[in-house]
Amino acid sequence: MVGPFLGEGGVAPIFDDVKKLPTRRAACILSGVKLLPLALTFLVLASGATPIFAATDAASTLGEKKRGNKAPGAVEGDWRAGAQARIEKHRKAPLRVVVTQNGRPVPGVQVQIDQTRSEFLFGCNIFKLNQCGSRERDAAYAKYFADIFNFATAGFYWSSYEPRKGDTKSGRNRNEQIAKWCAERGIRLKGHTLFWNYYDPAWAKGVDDAELYSRQLQHCKNSVEQFSGKISVWDVVNETTEWDTEDRHNRSPRATRFLREKGVANVIKDCFAAARSADGKALMLVNDYEKTEAFAKRLEELVGPDGKPIYDAIGMQSHMHDKVWSNEQIWEICERLARFKKPIHFTELTILSSLGKFVWLGRNDAKKTTPEGEAWQSEQLERVYTMLFSHPSVEAITWWDFTDLDAWMGCCGGLLRSDMTPKPAYETLRKLITNTWATHKTLRTNAMGVAELRAFRGDYTVRATLPDGKVIERKLSLGKTGAEVRL
């Protein structure tokens, strides 16, 4: 979607004029359904010690049979029960701990099981890291970000990453700093985006088409190559479904001409080939805002000579500035994309904390956060995240933006206010990620020296305290098929 300039002037939104949005894009966004009532209560999901085999049958019968492409209970009153059952089935796996001493099982031993990292990617763009205007605000931004997220997005918009022909020093240095900060905290980093016909570089006017296209592919290759081992996920191309608009022709005539003359699918394939030549192990996405079958048709075109998709995952933007998606709409979008058998990343999720009127292509009265709007944002975030987390094809959710400061379109879509104090939505998301959807349990082994439960998938530390006081600790990763650890 959109992001900050990475030039020497610091971070500033590259797009703050809603009147310049493409008409068809606005129509697409405006095609949402009616908002749900405000009176949503906070979700409490049990992550407690459950027998390994107890949850499977319940999950398969509650909320799993589809009626068309609707999730059972998705729009009726039992949507929470349906979501909880799907989460239990799809997000957890059996974890078995066996404690022995001198070859014999040890019963009654206390076993502490703590999840240290979720397999699911919960993230946000990180554009304002260390650029919030003061040391105190920078520190607050960094602390609140690291406290909940295991995934971050850095900007690689060509026009700002290479503001002068051949000069990527400023953009690269900025993203090197971000990559280092994320690595120190175990946060996985994504680059966004390598091709987007929304801004041509300012210096493009003096370059012929052949050279400019070659340089575009070099941007794809060089960016991935330079950050190989530091960035493992890439939005390779962005918004290539509704590419042929007057707005795009005006803003990015050269890149738009490449799409028209070479063919959209061919340009996308060239960009993917360039990126893959630099890092064959990175996860590479096609990212788009188009929620309809048009995006699905574009995906059908993106196959290689072997008939297999050239992409590893599908990115779906989800800016909900004017209307928050209903549960039915969320499920329909997930199901439409799930047929491609690739992970789905919801890459740019925004819900405003204002009840002011927001009109795409029109007046925006939703710039200032309000207590009523913050309560609304928190309630809707909990519902939307719960529905997305309950779909088995969804593997990542990225919020857009983390703070209201310099947020896209000047709107109050942040989880933090402009002064870096957390809104209720931040606290709601923190509880979901670190409590409701995380496993932290103290168990005791049975007569066979075994402690077992269904736990959320991810990385764990397991500790057992033996009768003689000796503490044994192991680390493990719990995947889809489950895991057993012997202490």
336-371 residue pLDDT tens? 999 999 999 999 999 999 988 776 656 677 789 999
pLDDT of residue 191: 98
pLDDT score at 358: 78
Instruction: Tell me what pLDDT residue 24 has.
Output: 38
pLDDT digits (tens, 9 = 90+) for 151-194: 999 999 999 999 999 999 999 999 999 999 999 999 999 999 99
Tell me how many domains the chain contains.
2
pLDDT tens, 433-465? 999 999 999 999 999 999 999 999 999 999 999
Closest CA to 369 of 402, 427, 415: 415
Is 31 or 376 the better-scoring residue by pLDDT? 376
> Which residues, at least 6 apart from 12, have a Cβ–Cβ distance to it below 8 Å?
4, 5, 406
Higher pLDDT residue, 398 or 362?
A: 398
Q: Where are the alpha helices (DSSP H) in 351-408?
A: 371-389
Inform me whether the pLDDT recorded for 258 exceeds 50.
Answer: yes
Residue linked to tokens 């012929």: 208
Same domain for 286 and 312, yes or no, is yes
CATH number of the domain to which 100 belongs: 2.60.40.1120
Same domain, 233 and 322: yes
Give the pLDDT confidence score for residue 355 in this predicted structure.
87
> Is residue 1 included in any domain, yes or no?
no
213 and 240, same domain (yes or no): yes
- Residue 173 belongs to a domain: yes
53 pLDDT higher than 90? no
Residues forming beta bridges with residue 152, ordered by sequence position: 124, 189
Over 197-248, what HEC string results? Answer: CCCCCHHHHHCCHHHHHHHHHHHHHHHHHHCCCCCCEEEEEECCCCCCCHHH
- Choose the final residue of a domain: 436, 459, 475: 436
Model confidence, pTM = 0.85
Domain with 350, as residue range(s), is: 18-35+120-436
